[in-house]
């Protein structure tokens, strides 16, 4: 199991717009056959910090999905609109979690 997480902070007063942005991105993902993300709100820490999480069975599947997402005009156009809702003083960042293996 692999999880890709995009962390970002929505500008104050624009939270609902941020949620709508994710919904529009997920709709574009459905249309293009990409994996949809699940939006999480951070309970403590930075105000309006969110995590958009994607689950994949393995890294190869994730790579294929990311390539499809990045080569589809509609998904990228909506993704780029995220700059309109994010807090400008916080840069988005992402992480990749890989299920821990059993070591020999």
Rounded CA-CA distance 48/39 in Å is 12
User: Token pair for residue 59?
Assistant: 């890294």
Rounded CA-CA distance 14/21 in Å is 10
Please give the pLDDT value at position 104.
Answer: 85
Domain ranges across the chain: 2-98
pLDDT in tens, 13-72: 999 999 999 999 999 999 999 999 999 999 998 899 999 999 999 999 999 999 999 999
Contact between 59 and 28 (Cβ < 8 Å): no
Residue 91 DSSP label = -
Handedness of CA 52, 35, 80, 67 (dihedral sign): positive
CATH architecture of 2-98: 2-Layer Sandwich (3.30)
| DSSP percent split of the chain into helix, strand, coil, nearest 5 | 40, 25, 35
pLDDT in tens, 67-98: 999 999 999 999 999 999 999 999 999 999 99
pLDDT in tens, 45-55: 889 999 999 99
Please give the pLDDT value at position 69.
Answer: 98
Predicted TM-score of the model (pTM)? 0.90
Element spanning 80, H or E: helix 73-80
């Amino acid at each position: 199991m692999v999880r890709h997480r995009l962390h970002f902070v929505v500008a104050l007063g624009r939270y609902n717009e941020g949620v709508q942005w994710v919904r529009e991105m997920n709709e574009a993902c459905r249309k293009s056959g990409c994996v949809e993300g699940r939006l999480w709100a951070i309970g403590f820490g930075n105000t309006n910090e969110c995590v958009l999480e994607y689950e994949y069975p393995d890294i190869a599947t994730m790579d294929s999905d990311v390539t499809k997402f990045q080569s589809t005009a509609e998904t990228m156009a909506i993704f780029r609109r995220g700059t309109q809702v994010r807090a400008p003083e916080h840069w988005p960042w992402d992480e990749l979690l890989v299920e821990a293996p059993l070591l020999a």
